């Protein structure tokens, strides 16, 4: 189906070359991962090795004509010791139109990111982008129908996300009604959002950004959720068993959750920029939940002699799924230093801290953007105090590269 779509899109390009804007890009993204063999969450499984090299190759086609926009990707994944995997996907395909001069509509699959923040955007209740991911692929939009009313300094957007889908475990696929209000006044931006769905019931939030002068800016946002969900290991929560024969991860509902961010940024005339941001993710694991999971790994290690090695390693891998969350603890502090003098070359360094347990994530990277090509590379290290959650991560270091070339409009 997706291959046929690509053929159809290419045919449209050839037939409407004068009217349609089109671009074709190739993105090659190798990644090298090195494990933390001392971690109690390090699993040595032949079909999912942590110490490995992978590479993602994306061929992306983008078409635009009037209010129509389409973005598709053909992806090929390579990994050491595994067979090649390929698949196609539709990132976005939508049409924007107007009802009146100041009222518009959208229908289709579209990326719709809301709110303020760098490491976390609490008001991003539609797209829900993971902003701590490294070397991420192009975003995949949400199926929606939307109305927007705008004036010179205000905008209101009403979104029906995933029409007819009903309740879903994945927020990205959950049917919902969402409302966003935006107002610009002088040097201030004010954002408000509300969302209703069966999965989360009711969410509401407010955010703002202020530009003081050419150097200083501040931002903050907060969101309340009537209900939220997280995945917990049932063996850690009830202590009745030590090992499981099937994945023990269970989706657990929580009540009255919240997210918040506050930050400041200084940008000098020389191109140097410093960002400091504190954020709270009420849907992340608590310290007590990590302590119970750590206790489970100790019980499993103590009883390892009595069970087959494959069962032990498989249970360890299931417990390590807690490290797939965007944020591992609720309270976080991010410090970022970058430099951009306008020549397309941008080096940067980041340090994420979890003050509750002394955890630390260090990231160093650079990006160079040219006329048709873009290159980036970086390194991320998980560390901190002896008992920090990040220090016990099954992955110690990540290295990545990305080269991209674009042809067309």
Q: Do residues 242 and 255 make contact, with C-beta atoms less than 8 angstroms apart?
A: no
Instruction: Give Rg (Cα) of the chain.
Output: 23
**Distant-in-sequence, close-in-space partners of 19: CB < 8 Å, separation ≥ 6:** 65
Place of tokens 């939508």: 94
Residue 114 dihedral angles phi and psi, to the nearest 5°: -120, 160
pLDDT band at 16 (very low <50, low <70, confident <90, very high): very low
Nearest C-alpha neighbor of 201 from the set 176, 169, 223: 176
Given pLDDT bands bounded at 50, 70 and 90, which one contains residue 408?
Answer: confident
Structure tokens at 235: 């063996």
- 11: pLDDT strictly greater than 80: no
Band of residue 216 on the pLDDT scale cut at 50, 70, 90: very high
Could you give the CA distance from residue 336 to residue 117 in angstroms, rounded to a whole number? 13
Q: Are strands 85-100 and 103-110 parallel, antiparallel or unpaired?
A: antiparallel
Mean pLDDT value across residues 351-359: 97
- Average model confidence (pLDDT) across the chain: 92
Residue 387's pLDDT is what? 92
Q: If pLDDT is split at 50, 70 and 90, which confidence band does 49 have?
A: confident
| Per-residue tokens: 328 | 């591992």
* CATH of the domain spanning 2-408: 2.40.160.100
pLDDT tens figures, 316-345: 999 999 999 999 999 999 999 999 988 899
Tokens 């953007």 identify what position?
A: 369
**pLDDT tens, 271-315?**
999 999 999 999 999 999 999 999 999 999 999 888 999 999 999
Cβ neighbours around 185 below 10 Å, total? 9
CB 33 within 8 A of CB 51: yes
Domain segments of the chain as ranges = 2-408
- How far is 294 from 236, CA to CA, in rounded Å? 8
Handedness of CA 349, 357, 287, 204 (dihedral sign): negative
pLDDT of 359 above 50: yes
Which structure tokens are listed for 52? 């490995």
Looking at residue 285, the DSSP 8-state letter turns out to be P
Three-state SS at 288: helix
The tens digit of pLDDT for each residue in 50-69 reads 888 999 999 999 999 999 99
Place of tokens 């290991």: 233
Taking 70 as the threshold, does the pLDDT of residue 9 lie above it? no
d(CA 354, CA 268): 28
β partners of residue 8: none
Task: Tell me what pLDDT residue 340 has.
Answer: 93
Mean pLDDT for 132-159 is 95
Give per-residue pLDDT as tens, 85-103: 999 999 999 999 999 989 9
- Residue 107, pLDDT > 60, answer yes
Check residue 286 and report its DSSP letter. P
Task: Kindly state the average pLDDT of the residues 379-390.
Answer: 96
pLDDT, tens digit, for every residue of 223-282?
999 999 999 999 998 887 899 999 999 999 999 999 999 999 999 999 999 999 999 999
407 pLDDT above the threshold of 70: yes
Residue from 74, 49, 46, 48 nearest 60 by CA: 74
- What is the model's pTM? 0.90
Q: Are 204 and 120 in contact, with CB atoms under 8 Å apart?
A: no
Residue 7 in this model has a pLDDT that exceeds 50: no
d(CA 181, CA 190): 8
In 10 A of CB 216, how many CB atoms? 12
Closest CA to 206 of 171, 226, 180: 180
Instruction: Yes or no: say if 254 and 267 are a contact pair by the CB < 8 Å rule.
Output: no
Whether the CB-CB separation of 220 and 262 falls below 8 Å is answered with: yes
What region does 33 belong to: left with phi over 0, alpha with psi -120 to 50, or beta?
beta
Averaged pLDDT for residues 125-130: 95
């Amino acid at each position: 189906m997706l291959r046929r779509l690509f053929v159809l899109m290419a045919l449209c390009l050839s037939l409407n070359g004068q009217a349609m804007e089109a671009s074709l890009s190739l993105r090659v993204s190798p990644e090298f991962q090195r494990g933390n063999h001392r971690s109690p969450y390090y699993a040595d499984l032949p079909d999912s090795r942590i110490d490995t090299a992978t590479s993602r190759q994306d061929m992306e086609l983008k078409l635009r004509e009037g209010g129509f926009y389409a973005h598709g990707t053909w992806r090929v994944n390579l990994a050491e010791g595994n067979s090649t995997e390929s698949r196609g996907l539709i990132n976005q395909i939508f049409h924007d139109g107007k009802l009146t001069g100041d009222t518009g509509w959208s229908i289709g699959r579209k990326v719709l990111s809301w709110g303020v923040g760098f490491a976390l955007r609490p008001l991003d209740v539609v797209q829900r982008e993971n902003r701590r991911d490294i070397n991420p692929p192009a975003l995949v939009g949400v199926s929606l129908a939307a109305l927007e009313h705008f004036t010179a300094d205000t905008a209101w957007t009403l979104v029906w996300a995933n029409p007819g889908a009903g309740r879903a475990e994945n927020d990205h696929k959950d049917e919902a009604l969402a409302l966003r209000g935006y107002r610009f006044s002088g040097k201030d931006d004010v954002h408000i959002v509300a969302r209703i769905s069966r999965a989360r019931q009711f969410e509401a939030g407010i955010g703002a950004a202020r530009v003081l002068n050419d150097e200083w800016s501040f931002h903050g946002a907060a969101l309340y959720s009537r209900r939220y969900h997280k995945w917990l290991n049932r063996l850690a929560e009830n202590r009745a068993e030590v090992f499981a024969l099937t994945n023990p991860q269970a989706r657990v509902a929580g009540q009255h959750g919240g997210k918040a961010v506050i930050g400041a940024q200084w940008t000098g005339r020389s191109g140097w920029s410093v960002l400091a941001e504190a954020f709270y993710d009420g849907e992340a694991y608590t310290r007590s939940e990590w302590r119970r999971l750590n206790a489970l790994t100790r019980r499993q290690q103590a009883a390892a002699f009595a069970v087959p090695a494959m069962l032990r390693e498989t249970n360890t891998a299931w417990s390590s799924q807690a490290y797939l969350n965007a944020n591992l603890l609720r309270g976080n502090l991010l410090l970022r230093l970058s430099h951009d003098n306008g020549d397309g070359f941008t080096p940067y360094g980041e340090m994420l801290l979890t003050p509750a347990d002394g955890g630390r994530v260090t990231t160093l990277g650079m990006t160079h953007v040219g006329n048709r090509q873009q290159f980036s590379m970086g390194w991320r290290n998980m560390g901190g105090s002896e008992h920090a959650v990040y220090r016990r991560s099954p992955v110690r270091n990540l290295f990545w590269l990305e080269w991209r070339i674009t042809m067309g409009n």
